[in-house]
Amino acid sequence: MKKILIPTDFSANAYNAISYAMKLYKNEETTFFLMNTYTPAVYQSEYLLFSPGQIGLGDIYQENSEKKLNQVKRCIEEEFNNPKHSFIIHSAFNTLVYEVEETVENEKIDVVVMGTQGATGAKEILLGTNTVHVIKNAKCPVLVVPPKYSYVAPKEILFPTDYEVDYSKTQLKQLIDIARANSAKIEVLYVSSGNELTIDQLENKSKLGELLGDLPHRFHDVTDQEIITAINTFQSDQNINLLTMVRNKHTFLERLFIEPIIKKISFHVNIPFFVLPHN
């Protein structure tokens, strides 16, 4: 039984991510946790000042949150009607990032699936602040779905890597599950700076191949390109349906997350983005 956490702000973008998750896991026994967090600024400030005038305001926000979550739950059940799926609504007075962290820990969540903040009408991922922090702090994989993305089964998965990760079976489990369920092929992409792989990198590459085992996969080496350019070019040429990366301290992905500029430009892709934690 998988446990999938889906935060929602009740937007069309958020429901699109829910729809993607329903289709991606349609053949698996899955419990979905539908989460909404609310942090009204006026309530926070007045609450901290112990203002009696705001007593009960939190209950109103909670009731509204739970009402909308139940509406979303009914919509999902009517649209997808999947006996393999069950739903738990989760409403909390908290920030999204902290509530995701706590729920992942307390409920032993396998994957977080979420839409992302982006420019109105944009079809590519523009990672908003909440999305970045969820990815950075979550101790389980996070799947980010672009706005208005129409579901396509992930038959072609792109896995860029610098081979700096000592891969483990646990770390790759959710990726391997998706690949097996969809009879997918994994394209492992290494963007070289022109230097030979170190002994550690060679060992990690070999271990990655062993962990992928009998799954269809190929290793690709690209030189003299920026990593984002290489990813976008490969994605376009090979009709990739899912981009997967490991977030570790060595990769450009992690460096992007700790740079303030991420708030302005972010990582642009127009397919779902699956980020695996380092550990």
Mean pLDDT of 74-84: 97
Q: Residue 39: which residues within 8 A CB-CB, separation 6 or more?
A: 93, 94, 95
Instruction: Name the range with the highest mean pLDDT among 43-47, 63-67, 193-197.
Output: 63-67
- pLDDT given for residue 133 in this prediction: 80
Name the residue with tokens 């990032």: 97
pTM for the complete prediction?
A: 0.86
- Nearest alpha carbon to residue 174 among 113, 87, 238: 113
The residue among 230 and 53 whose pLDDT is bigger is 230
Asked if residues 61 and 43 have their Cβ atoms less than 8 Å apart, the reply is yes
**pLDDT recorded at residue 270:** 81
What type of residue is 109?
Answer: I
Task: Flag whether pLDDT at 255 surpasses 80.
Answer: no
pLDDT at 256: 54
51 Cβ partners below 8 Å, 6+ apart? none
pLDDT at 20 over 80: yes
What DSSP assignment string belongs to 220-248? EEEESS-HHHHHHHHHHHHT-SEEEEEE-
pLDDT score of 272? 92
- Pick from 143-147, 193-197, 199-203, 264-268 the range whose average pLDDT is largest: 199-203
Q: Are 6 and 32 in contact (CB under 8 A)?
A: yes
- The tens digit of pLDDT for each residue in 110-132 reads 999 998 754 444 454 445 667 77
Q: Which residue has the higher pLDDT, 114 or 44?
A: 114
pLDDT at 48 over 60: no
Dist CA 22 CA 145 (whole Å): 13
Q: What percent of the chain has pLDDT over 70?
A: 80
CA triplet 203, 205, 209: central angle to 5 degrees? 115
pLDDT band at 105 (very low <50, low <70, confident <90, very high): very high
Q: What angle do CA 246, 249, 252 make, to 5 degrees?
A: 70
Domains with residue ranges and CATH for the chain: 1-151 (3.40.50.620), 153-262 (3.40.50.620)
Residue 104 pLDDT: 96
The pLDDT tens digits for 184-235 are 999 999 988 778 899 999 999 999 999 999 999 999 998 877 777 788 888 8
DSSP-derived letter for residue 53 is G
Specify the pLDDT at position 242.
95
Instruction: Tell which wins on pLDDT, 69 or 133.
Output: 69
* pLDDT of 47 over the 60 cut: no
**Alpha-carbon span 229 to 236, nearest angstrom:** 11
Q: Which of 47-51, 148-152, 153-157 has the lowest mean pLDDT?
A: 47-51
